[in-house]
Every structure is written in structure tokens, then in C-alpha cells.
């Protein structure tokens, strides 16, 4: 679908569209989309738009993304809504994804554009398949030799060196995943090694010396989930781990679980309200004797989590409340409230609030002799605490022209101000 050459007068009569990509949606390249979908006027605020395009993505069983694209009619199109779904593969390049998104936007906007003066300037094209040969190729694609399994390997390395400090970090992960309407299976192996070395120069009172920090973490996890209905699911998670930070040579977990979603799972890209409960044994073998005089122990624990996720025209939210306790002593527990809310409150005005607050009394892994000053400063091991709080807030206000159609990337590498300035206060 392409717009023919048009006058400024006719373009001003084109429908107004606001693009709302929730989260980090691959391929949602606004500059490209504005340039490619050029038969509408793009707005910087949904309150000025005739149509709001809401894009939300979830990872599918193949490791790709299922993008749910909702067209919400506003103003003169109030009450007109539609939803399209675009599935992409994990190895699809960004350019292909953004072109497919733009093509899908054009399809969804067609019904709205058809009711505008610019409709007379549009043409629709159809790319016909290549006869039976094409049909046979499509049928062959349905025969998946991998039986819906996807495998992912990931390796990262980071090295930094200076005269008086060196840092090396390496991580490796392997995973196998399979998802159908009835079953979900995830298997993963991961490891992370972090080494730091600091050369402390000599002074008048002491010679030079070297401080070394090493942290290692290894994990193996498996998750199997069975769909019971459009609201209920049951599953089992099995895990094994090693962590210097948590004072654990071996950590083994077996966690059968059940989950209920208040909303139908067919709405999962737009909203979820889930309640999950799991219970099971945990075995720990510690590197150092714990504050409870244990070198190893087996403890049963239970965990309950309530979570709400929404991606709507007003913004997005993700809030969860989590309770965990050990069954041998209910005083050994943790309660955590966390979330993030991104609100579009008015014309050009948006508010982002996030954070977490936790009451902590489940650190049964802490070493009995405590931590040295060096371990505390280098954050080598977890420290005893009764609470943990994090918070962030962001406010954004944009005003001026309601149109957001022109793309101009000149001098982008210099930034909006044409340079960088630093200010220091003493």
C-alpha cells in the first residue's frame, strides 16, 4: 500500500496516528515507520490522534516474538478497534522485523484510512504465490524437523585493564525450550565468573599490596508446565546451583507449583493477573558454617506470588507481591513488593515510577564469622539485612507542535545539544 504524490492540503486531511510500542519491541524503529507509512500524520501524543497503535511483544516457544498489534480508534473513530498478530523468528534481522511491522501497520490502518479523503490516493497490491510449487513449500514448512525445540547458546566476555586495576568477567549459557498450547519446557545451564585485582600503592606507613576478588555462580534449571485450562496451569521446577555470593557449594531445589490467571491466557499480551504457589524441599551445602551452625541442611519452603501485568492505551504496569518462608520456622521468611508503572497522564505528560521493598528474614546461608572489611567493600558475599528498598521515578513533559512526522538524522552523533558538557559542584 503506497501513497501517491499528494498536496499539503490533502496530507493535512490524513488521519492522525500515535505509535505506542510498549517496552522494548524489536524492530519498532519509529524513524523508519514514519518514513515508510507516509499516508498518515504521526502524532507525538495519543490525545491528538485518531488512531492509537499499541504494540506489545511476548517471547514465543521458538525463541521469537509474538507481537500483538492493537488499533484503537479515538476521536472520530471512537469504538473502532482491531487486533493483528505478527510472529517473528529469533534470528530475523531487525530490518526484516521493522518492515513486517510497517506492513502490518498499513493493513490495520486501511479501514480507518478508507474513511478519509486520502483514501482516493491509495492503492493496494497483492503478491501472488508461485503456483503449486509455492503451496508445496508452505506445506513443507509445517513439518518441523526440530519438533518445536529451540536451542540457544550465549557467551560473553569483558576485560578491562589499567595500571592499578584489572577486571575480567565471563559468562556462558545454554538453553533448550519447547512450547505448545499444552506444554512448556525450559532447560538451561549457565555460569558466570568475575575476577578483579586492585594494586594498592605503598604509603609512608605500609608497603604496597594486592587485593583480589573472585566470584563464581553456576546454575542448572529445568521447568515443565502443563496447561490445564484457559486459566489454570501446573508445573515443576528443578534447580541446582553454586554461588560464592550466597555461601553455597551446592543448592538443590524441587518445586512443584500451580498457577491461576484471572484473565484468559489468550489475553496474555494485554493483561495478566496471576496467582502462583509452589512448595518443595531445598538442600544446601555451605562453603562456611552458617549463623545457625549448619554446614549443610535440607529445608522445605513454600512461596506464593501475585502478579499483575497490563499493557493498555494509558501505559503499562507490572506489579508483584511475593511471600516465601521455610516450613521448619515461619519466622524465616521474606516479603517483597515490586513493580513499575508507566503512565501517560495527559498531553505530552508521562510519569514512570518503579521500585521494590522487601522485608528479609530468610538469610539462613550467612556465614557464622561474618564478613571481613575487604569482603564488604568488594561485595564478595551477601550481608545481613532486615530490609531492602529500591526506587526510581521519572517525569517527562513534551510540548509544542502536535505533529511528529518529519525524520531528520543529520548530526545525530553529536547529540541534541551538539556536544557534551560537564558541571562539577564542590
Q: Phi and psi at residue 94, in whole multiples of 5°?
A: -60, -35
Q: How much of the chain, in percent, has pLDDT values that exceed 70? A: 84
My answer on whether 275 and 363 are in the same domain is yes
My answer on whether 114 and 161 are in the same domain is no
Domain count, the chain: 2
My answer on whether 87 and 188 are in the same domain is no
My answer on whether 213 and 362 are in the same domain is yes
The predicted model gives 215-219 an average pLDDT of: 95
Q: For residue 94, what are the domain limits?
A: 2-123
Spatial distance between the Cα atoms of 179 and 186, rounded to a whole number of angstroms: 9
- Give the domain-ending residue among 123, 140, 159: 123
My answer on whether 40 and 183 are in the same domain is no
Task: Name the strands in the sheet holding 81-88, side by side, starting at the edge strand that comes first in the sequence.
Answer: 41-42, 16-21, 51-59, 65-73, 81-88
Q: What is the pLDDT of residues 190-204, one digit of tens each?
A: 999 999 998 888 888
Give the per-residue pLDDT at 8: 62
Spatial distance between the Cα atoms of 338 and 330, rounded to a whole number of angstroms: 22
The dihedral sign for the CA sequence 366, 370, 373, 375: negative
Q: What is the pLDDT of residues 391-406, one digit of tens each?
A: 999 887 777 665 555 5
Give the per-residue pLDDT at 39: 86
Mean pLDDT for all residues in the chain = 83
* Exposure b/e, 241-253, CB count within 10 A at least 16 = b: bbbbebbbeebbb
Give the per-residue pLDDT at 144: 66
Give the per-residue pLDDT at 96: 81
Q: Is residue 97 part of a domain?
A: yes
Label residue 133 by pLDDT band (50, 70, 90): very low
Closest Cα partner for 24 from 97, 111, 114, 104? 97
My answer on whether 312 and 383 are in the same domain is yes
Q: Is residue 141 part of a domain?
A: no
My answer on whether 109 and 169 are in the same domain is no
My answer on whether 261 and 358 are in the same domain is yes
Spatial distance between the Cα atoms of 380 and 214, rounded to a whole number of angstroms: 8
Least confident of 88-97, 166-175, 203-212: 88-97
Spatial distance between the Cα atoms of 19 and 39, rounded to a whole number of angstroms: 14
Give the per-residue pLDDT at 134: 45
Q: Is residue 228 part of a domain?
A: yes
My answer on whether 112 and 160 are in the same domain is no
Q: Is residue 173 part of a domain?
A: yes
- Give the domain-ending residue among 123, 156, 176: 123
Give the per-residue pLDDT at 320: 94
My answer on whether 290 and 372 are in the same domain is yes
Can you give 335-380 as a three-state secondary structure string? EEEEEEEEEEEECCEEEEEEEEEEEECCCCCCECCCCCHHHHHCCC
The predicted model gives 299-311 an average pLDDT of: 92
Q: What is the pLDDT of residues 80-132, one digit of tens each?
A: 888 898 888 777 777 788 888 889 999 889 888 888 888 877 777 777 665 54
Q: Is residue 307 part of a domain?
A: yes
Please indicate whether residue 274 or residue 269 has the higher confidence score (pLDDT). 274
My answer on whether 59 and 170 are in the same domain is no
Label residue 48 by pLDDT band (50, 70, 90): confident
My answer on whether 116 and 156 are in the same domain is no
CATH classification at residue 219: 2.40.160
Q: Is residue 130 part of a domain?
A: no
Q: Give the pTM.
A: 0.67
Give the per-residue pLDDT at 237: 95
CATH classification at residue 98: 3.40.50
Q: Is residue 140 part of a domain?
A: no
Q: What is the pLDDT of residues 343-376, one digit of tens each?
A: 877 767 778 889 999 999 989 888 888 777 777 7
Q: Is residue 138 part of a domain?
A: no
Amino acid at each position: 500500500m503506497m501513497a501517491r504524490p499528494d498536496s499539503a492540503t490533502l496530507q493535512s486531511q490524513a488521519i492522525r496516528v500515535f505509535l505506542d510500542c510498549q517496552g522494548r519491541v524489536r524492530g519498532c524503529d519509529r524513524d523508519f515507520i514514519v518514513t515508510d507509512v507516509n499516508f498518515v500524520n504521526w502524532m507525538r501524543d495519543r490525545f491528538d490522534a485518531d488512531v492509537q497503535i499499541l504494540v506489545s511483544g511476548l517471547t514465543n516457544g521458538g525463541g521469537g516474538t509474538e507481537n500483538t498489534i492493537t488499533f484503537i480508534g479515538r476521536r472520530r473513530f471512537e469504538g473502532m478497534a482491531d487486533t493483528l498478530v505478527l510472529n517473528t523468528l529469533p534470528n530475523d534481522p531487525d530490518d526484516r522485523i521493522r518492515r513486517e511491522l510497517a506492513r502490518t501497520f498499513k493493513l490495520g490502518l486501511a479501514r480507518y484510512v478508507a474513511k478519509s479523503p486520502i483514501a482516493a490516493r491509495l492503492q493496494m497490491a497483492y503478491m501472488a504465490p508461485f503456483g503449486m510449487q509455492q503451496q508445496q513449500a508452505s506445506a513443507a514448512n509445517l513439518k518441523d524437523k526440530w519438533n518445536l525445540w529451540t536451542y540457544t547458546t550465549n557467551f560473553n566476555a569483558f576485560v578491562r585493564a589499567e595500571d592499578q586495576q584489572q577486571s575480567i568477567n565471563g559468562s556462558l549459557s545454554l538453553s533448550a525450550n519447547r512450547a505448545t498450547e499444552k506444554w512448556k519446557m525450559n532447560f538451561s545451564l549457565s555460569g558466570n565468573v568475575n575476577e578483579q585485582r586492585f594494586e594498592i600503592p605503598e604509603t609512608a606507613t605500609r608497603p604496597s599490596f594486592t587485593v583480589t576478588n573472585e566470584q563464581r555462580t553456576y546454575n542448572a534449571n529445568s521447568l515443565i508446565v502443563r496447561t490445564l485450562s484457559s486459566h489454570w496451569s501446573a508445573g515443576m521446577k528443578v534447580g541446582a546451583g553454586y554461588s560464592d555470593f550466597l555461601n553455597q557449594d551446592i543448592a538443590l531445589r524441587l518445586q512443584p507449583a500451580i498457577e491461576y490467571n484471572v484473565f484468559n491466557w489468550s489475553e496474555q499480551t494485554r493483561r495478566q493477573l496471576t496467582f502462583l504457589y509452589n512448595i518443595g524441599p531445598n538442600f544446601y551445602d555451605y562453603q562456611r558454617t552458617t549463623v545457625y551452625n549448619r554446614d549443610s541442611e535440607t529445608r522445605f519452603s513454600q512461596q506464593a506470588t501475585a502478579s499483575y501485568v497490563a499493557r493498555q492505551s494509558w501505559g503499562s504496569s507490572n506489579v508483584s507481591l511475593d511471600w516465601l518462608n521455610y516450613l521448619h520456622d515461619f519466622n524465616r521468611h521474606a516479603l517483597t513488593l515490586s513493580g513499575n508503572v508507566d503512565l501517560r497522564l495527559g498531553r505530552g505528560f508521562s510519569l514512570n515510577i518503579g521500585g521494590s521493598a522487601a522485608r528479609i528474614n530468610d538469610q539462613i546461608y550467612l556465614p557464622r564469622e561474618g564478613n571481613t572489611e575487604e569482603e564488604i567493600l568488594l561485595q564478595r558475599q551477601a550481608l545481613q539485612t532486615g530490609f531492602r528498598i529500591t526506587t526510581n521515578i521519572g517525569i517527562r513533559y513534551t510540548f509544542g507542535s502536535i505533529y511528529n512526522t518529519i525524520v531528520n538524522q543529520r548530526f545525530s552523533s553529536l547529540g541534541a545539544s551538539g556536544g557534551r558538557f560537564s558541571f562539577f559542584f564542590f
